[in-house]
Structure 1
Amino acid sequence: MAISDKTRKFLWAKSGNRCAICKAELITSTVSFDEFNLGEECHIISSKPTGPRHIPSLEEYDNYENLLLLCKNHHKEIDELTDTYTEELLRYIKTNHENWVKNTIKDAIDKEQKDEEPKFLSRITSGKDLFNIINEVYGYRTDYDDIKSEEEMNFIGGFIQALIDYGDISGMIEAHDKVRIGYELQKLIDEIENKGYYIFGERGLEPMFSHQPKSDKWTVATIIIKRKENPEIIKIDLENLANE
């Protein structure tokens, strides 16, 4: 009995077009858009009496539970090294791989949905709070409204540079100096607000390598400078909200 189209489609879908062992993509396209199928539907238990891991009493050899999607190299390997690739190990590989496919797709969807969600940052009004955001971070993410004059450019640029300079030395100074920096930052906040701006920010963890989301994470400070009249700013009356 041959593998049915329904079983074949189910196997490829659950396996995510990937080899269950090396995770290689099995159907690939060339520059000319020709497709090459590098995958093979492998039997965990062979139907042939002399085949790998054969069990004569098995009722159905071509059902989904007895099939594993592999690349050609690993198909050859599991059928030659039967002492290593036992039935139990191959069933574990199958289950583990299909869970990996499911979780990888779920993580990608969750990340995409999260990226689409609006990002809300709190307004920073305290020099101490601002220092706590930049204290001993490994990176900075800054943004600001479009610059309209050279004076504005110098002021905004100087403010951001001062934050980065304070953050860079924060791990090398004593407690007294940290208090002093908080005081200096408070004066900068007051000055920038007098010029018509608000400061928003947060401290967070991000992957060290953007192409490796599960790599080690480092602390990053996000600082955003917006004009007070910017329509993106949402004002919430927390006191009235708490009383509702």
Structure 2
Amino acid sequence: MAISDKTRKLLWGKSGNRCAICKTELVTKKEDNAEFNIGEECHIISSKPTGPRHVEGLLGYDQYENLLLLCRNHHKEIDELEDTYNEEVLRYLKTNHENWVRITLKNASEEISGNEKPLFLAQVTSGKVLYNIINGVYGYNTDYDESETQSEMDFIAYVLETIRNYGDLTGMSDPDSVSMAYDLRQLLEQIDKRGYMLFADRGNQPMFLGNPKSEDWTVATLILRRKENPEIVKVDMATGKQIL
């Protein structure tokens, strides 16, 4: 069994295109704009009987939980220094690195949001449109009205998690876009019945602010608002004027 496209996308996304040990950027552009990749997907527990840290009968050798993203040098190092880099150490490195990526991206997103002008997004009412927005993105910027009840909080969490899950599925080698667009349309109908509106868009933002060589990553912005929220502005698309 090989590493699936979905698992590979999840690993690279959560690892931020960085080596878990030295934080080196793994896919960069050379002067001729060709991509240069020094990243390697490393197994924490090898499936080979003679491989490093092998455990007999483990299920899911090629699953995300058993994979660590490293540069070539550190991949070689962890496999040669097996006593130093045991399973416990590597799982700690994986968790610590992915938390670092998550916090860094969150801080970058908040800094961008704080410096931008007011955000204007269109309401999404089509499952196909929502599918196209989340197709292949590496991350999400989300916002929503504060929950007044446990039920509302659970519903908002359900909506955002469902959209992220479908976004992950777009990374499969042959995603069923028609079926997923239909399911997302059903989700949008649930949002409408609960008295909410979903606004969304996709775009690029730098992975790390302050680094001119940092790659731009495609992210989706998802905003969930109650229909009565005064922030919502209705616009006549033909004239561009606000509808009062």
When normalised by structure 2's length, the TM-score is 0.50
The structure number with the bigger radius of gyration is: 1
Greater percentage in helix: 1
Higher-RCO chain (CA-CA 8 Å, sequence separation at least 6): 2
